[in-house]
Structure 1
Amino acid sequence: MARIFLVLAVVLGCFWWLRQRAEARLREDRAARHGPAQGSPARNQPAPAQEAMVQCARCGVHLPQGEAIAYRGLHYCRRAHLPADSDPDSPAA
């Protein structure tokens, strides 16, 4: 009788092990296809900061606000696009 219980325990242990292995493989496939699961640590990390986009007042190009040149309430993509009266290289009158 003890042998039957031992064989039954081994068979049930093998089924349990195979089931756990199949579930782990399924979770890995889902994570690879759809990104990390909701409970994973990668999901709990803060999202990278998104920077506002602004448009150059002269040519209309969109660029991140951190890269734009702000002058008199407007944004410009490069120094050459600044209005002529704001040329920093010209002598002050």
Structure 2
Amino acid sequence: MARIFLLLAVVLAIIWWLRQRAAARDAHEPPARPGPAQREADGAAASEPMVQCAQCGVHLPRGEAIGWNGLHYCRRSHLPDGSEMSGHGDTDARP
């Protein structure tokens, strides 16, 4: 009978030791990465509206587009003739 109590005490001591060790490890680990739902919510808040190039029809973020006379273009070569040398519009992010 004493063997059973001794075995039970050893098993409980091992379980207690493992739980203490796991708690200490969790306290020192960096926070977990956000899940897919959280990343989608963060991405939706940081996104900007998409606009369509008046020349080729490609969609791109408004911050990367070149604005000219109320229209948006994806690159300087798509601007109407004579307007690409005037220097108006946003900066072109693509070569």
TM-score w.r.t. structure 1 length? 0.49
